[in-house]
Structure 1
Amino acid sequence: MQPTSIELERQARLWIIEAGERIKRAIQQPLEINSKSGPDDLVTDVDKSTEAFLHEKITTTYPNHHFLGEEGVADKLSSLQGTVWIVDPIDGTMNFVHQKQNFAISIGIIEDGVGTVGLVYDVIKGELFHAIKGKGLYVNDLKVNLPEDRPLHEAIIGLNANWLVEKRPIQPTLINLVQTCRGTRSYGSAALEMAYVAVDRMDAYISLNLSPWDYAGGTILLNEANCLATRFNGEELSMLNKGSMVAAKRKLHAVLVKDYLSNEVIS
């Protein structure tokens, strides 16, 4: 019998907290650090061991489910039929390496193409952001109220400063956006920044290049907070392919897409 979303969320909460405890123990030991696509794209032995731990738990308990992870433990998926767990074992690896904080484990559960369960766990702060489709957003056991939708000139936007200095077609647009909004922040973890939008700590988060494991869990949190996460042109995010993303409260999202992002070419 197929487990319900409530059952999946309950099990995922147990595993993500257990994985966090393993990370807190491992973080006290010397780390094995390597780079992937470049010197700023880091991976550690803890990323890999955390993904392996979650993969073993999920596939042993639910052998008919699929698993998509960042660090190489993944099914070769061409569709989202069935139940797919999309996992980022440590989102914010650079923070994990340099700060030992401001990183998260992210899990999104997709059932027949629909996001039904999302979890983002700030391991060090002990904050678990979690949601089931249609049942609201929670931080630990406290249900979160819907966030306030502020106008752009009062908004705090999550944005990596690299996008402002790199010579890209969108650079002038982003500079204009930064000059118009109230302020910007960059926490170095897409999953956490999406969670912060959902719980009203920020108003929007923008990134030019994210993968499904970066945002799978966060999109479900945002949906339950009546927020939106899409590509820059307003198209739905793909859970199989990477690309741009803007996450924001609904009215602000419409302004960002229409006036700042929809016509930009991302290269």
Structure 2
Amino acid sequence: MEIHHRDTVYQDAKKWVYEAGKIIKEQMNNPLNIETKSNANDLVTILDKQTEKFFVEKIKDKYPDHQIIGEEGYGDQPKELDGTIWVIDPIDGTMNFVHQKKFFAISVGILHNGVGEIGLIYDVMNDTLYHVKKGEGAFRDSQQLPLLSRNKQLNEAIVGMNYFWLCENRLVDYQVMQGFIRTVRGARTYGSAALELAYIADGTLDGYLSMRLSPWDVAAGIILLQEVGGIVSNIDGNEWDPLKKSSILASNPALHKTILDIIKKGRK
């Protein structure tokens, strides 16, 4: 993507993220018409749908040649990574949104020919925007995030994960993960993959582990994290695929191989 065009796309994306956040805050206390999708805990609200539709209409109007991958189905279904693709989660952390009215984010990742170029994660209720243009630094609002330290030890690490979800269907051995939990300094579950990846980028967390995430959950966070030297793969150590649902291991660069080796010991 040419630099001047990327700057224009970035400015538009940033503007639309703030506009969408304002709409969410104005309407979030209205009746939400909560529905379920894949299971009783996979929630979607009218605001999830309206917010995605808002982005799709804005993007298609100004950038008709761009494609969109969105959680609620208003975008496209690209099979290849050619051209510019917006990967959007209108409300990442819908359960938090419904039950707590916080710890949710708007997540927008923009790829060009498969390369992550722009990422925005907007913590709506804290009015905090994590944002990145590839090669120009990652930021939390106006503060540039430093490169991640390469001196972090596993016993000093705070890792984001859902412990029981990790062991669901015995994908990772329970005892191996129990040992991992005891090795790290602490484990946290925030309920928003986008925010948890942003927290690694700013040093609040040191790693994040999840077994099944869709591209819209993580695209923006991966672009942000890679800009500060973080490493992302699936739990088998393979590269993340923007078109597929997969496991995710994201971490400080000093910890990735160590965590990966532990997980491999527990794989069935």
**What's the TM-score, normalizing by structure 1?**
0.95
Distance (Å, rounded) in 2 between the aligned partners of 1:73 and 1:169: 32
Asked if the contact 2:213/2:246 (under 8 Å) is kept, the reply is: yes
Partner of 2:145: 144
Match for 2:227 among 221, 224, 229?
Answer: 224
The corresponding residue for 1:247 is 250
Residue deviations 1:135-186, cap 9 Å, x none?
1110111111123341100000001132366451412222111010000111
Aligned twin of 1:105: 106
Contact 1:234 1:262 in 2 (8 A): no
Taking the aligned partners of 2:13 and 2:176, their CA distance within structure 1 comes to 40
Task: Map 1:164-179 onto structure 2 (within 5 A).
Answer: 166=168, 168-170=170-172, 171-179=174-182
Shift >3 Å, 4+ stretches = 164-167, 262-266
Please say if residues 233 and 263 of structure 1, whose CA atoms lie closer than 8 Å, have aligned partners that are also in contact. no
Matched residues in 2 for 1:112 and 1:181: separation? 37
Q: Distance in 2 between matches of 1:239 and 1:229?
A: 12
Whole-Å separation in 2 of the counterparts to 1:173 and 1:242: 24
Range with bigger deviation, 102-111 or 72-81 = 72-81
Q: Does 1:185 align with 2:172?
A: no
Compute the displacement of 1:263 (Å).
5.3
**1:80-159 to 2 correspondence within 5 Å?**
80-149=81-150, 150-159=152-161
The 2-side partners of 1:161 and 1:235 are apart by 22
**Contact 2:149 2:254 (8 Å CA) reproduced:** no
How far the C-alpha of 1:240 sits from its partner, in A, is: 0.5
CA shift, 1:4, in A, is 2.2
Q: Is the 8 A contact 1:110 1:116 kept in 2?
A: yes
**Is 1:6 matched up with 2:7?**
yes
Quick one: distance in 2 between partners of 1:227 and 1:139? 16
The code of the aligned residue for 1:153 comes to N
Q: Using the alignment, how far apart are the partners of 1:212 and 1:164 within structure 2?
A: 19
Map 1:202-213; keep pairs closer than 5 Å.
202-213=205-216
* Residue aligned with 1:245, SS: strand
Q: Which residue among 238, 260, 263 is the counterpart of 2:262?
A: 260
On the 8 A contact 2:176/2:265 being kept in 1, the answer is: no
| In structure 2, C-alpha distance between the alignment counterparts of 1:138 and 1:9, rounded to whole Å | 13
CA–CA distance in structure 2, aligned partners of residues 165 and 82 of structure 1: 38
Query: How well do the aligned residues superpose, as a CA RMSD in angstroms?
Result: 1.6
CA deviations over 1:29-83 (Å, ceiling 9, x no partner): 1211000000000000000000000010111110000011000112121101000
**One-letter identity of the residue aligned with 1:61:** K
Q: Provide, for residues 85-136 of structure 1, a one-character-per-residue CA deviation record: whole Å limited to 9, x for no partner.
A: 0000000000000000000000000001100001100000001000011111
- Identify unmatched segments of 5+ residues in structure 2: none
8 A contact 2:166–2:211 mirrored in 1 = no
Letter in 2 for 1:211: S
- Structure 2 Cα separation of the partners of residues 178 and 120 of structure 1: 28
Q: Residues 193-222 of structure 1: CA distance to partner in whole angstroms, max 9, x if unpaired?
A: 000001100000000000000000000001
Aligned position for 1:54: 55
1:146–1:199: 8 Å Cα contact kept in structure 2?
A: no
What TM-score do you get using the length of structure 2 for normalisation? 0.95
CA contact (8 A) 1:152 1:182 kept: yes
Separation in structure 1 between the aligned mates of residue 166 and residue 61 of structure 2, nearest angstrom: 45
How many equivalent pairs are there? 265
